[in-house]
Structure 1
Amino acid sequence: MNVKLSQCFIAVDDHDKALAFYRDALGLEVRNDVGFEGMRWVTVGSPSQPDVEIVLEPPLADPNASAADRQAMAELLAKGMLRGVIFSTDDVDATFEHVRAAGGEVLQEPVDQPYGVRDCAFRDPAGNMLRFSQPRTG
């Protein structure tokens, strides 16, 4: 049996802001942009990983959800309590400077972690935490 990751999901409240971040700041390519029942899903991915996509989806992808459920999800998203993604990079310090210069909200500057990586963290425009890491050498 061969099992591989194909897609992961990140909730966003503004697809245009999310695209400006994921496409323009991070350099991911847009692979799909689909509307359905008043909602929008956009898939992005790294050119170096053509078989892995991040789906930028509405916080509550259910057209029948109650107003209370929509409000609860919007509040969780605003607090950064939903999903997060960890990206690998070959130069975390350069990645940090690039994302910061592009306007990324810094959560953690690059630091050597005791578990063997050097990493940093940002919030995307919707509040999701994104980490960028590279293995430490030596």
Structure 2
Amino acid sequence: MNNITIHYTFLPPTDPEASLRFYRDLLGFEVRQDVGYEDMRWITVGPVEQPQTSIVLQPPAVDPGITDQEREVILSLIAKGSFAGMTLAVDDLDAFYQQLESAGADVVQEPIDQDYGVRDCTFRDPAGNLLRISQR
């Protein structure tokens, strides 16, 4: 059996600078790459202690085959938090929640014990992507 790991995942930012501040300054991720091309920007971030796992903040609807109408639909889904998301885990959920809330992060759900055995909370990043944060 292969030893498979998650290397990259992609999230679409609508404002690269705001997303950079959120992931770098608020979540504490390191910036691994920041690449611009024409009027677009790809920013790769990740947890310092997990160099093998990264999040690429990729321009939304960057595929050249996407129509303007499709691009608008994608941007609408991003804003609603219905396009992309991710779950993170922390050792102290309540302290982490307080840190994000006091910094002005967009709270969707306060920490709660779910019926399926997980304690978590939910935020939106600056683009609207949903981030669930679970108690490790």
Aligned to 2:37: 36
The alignment's TM-score, normalised by the length of structure 2, stands at 0.93
Aligned to 1:68: 69
Q: Counterparts of 1:2-41 in structure 2 under 5 Å?
A: 2-41=3-42
Q: Give the Cα–Cα distance (whole angstroms) in 1 for the partners of residues 75 and 22 of structure 2.
A: 19
Aligned to 1:95: 96
Structure 1 residue 49 corresponds to structure 2 residue 50: yes
Report the CA distance between 1:36 and its aligned residue.
2.5
Aligned to 1:117: 118
Report the CA distance between 1:104 and its aligned residue.
0.6
Report the aligned-residue RMSD.
1.3
Q: Give the Cα–Cα distance (whole angstroms) in 1 for the partners of residues 117 and 65 of structure 2.
A: 45
The alignment's TM-score, normalised by the length of structure 1, stands at 0.92
AA matched with 2:40: M
Structure 1 residue 79 corresponds to structure 2 residue 80: yes
Q: Give the Cα–Cα distance (whole angstroms) in 2 for the partners of residues 19 and 52 of structure 1.
A: 17
Matched-pair contact (CA < 8 Å) for 1:37–1:63: no
The runs of 5 or more residues in structure 1 that have no matched partner are none
Report the CA distance between 1:39 and its aligned residue.
1.7
Q: Give the Cα–Cα distance (whole angstroms) in 1 for the partners of residues 122 and 63 of structure 2.
A: 30
Q: Give the Cα–Cα distance (whole angstroms) in 1 for the partners of residues 113 and 73 of structure 2.
A: 36
Report the CA distance between 1:64 and its aligned residue.
4.8
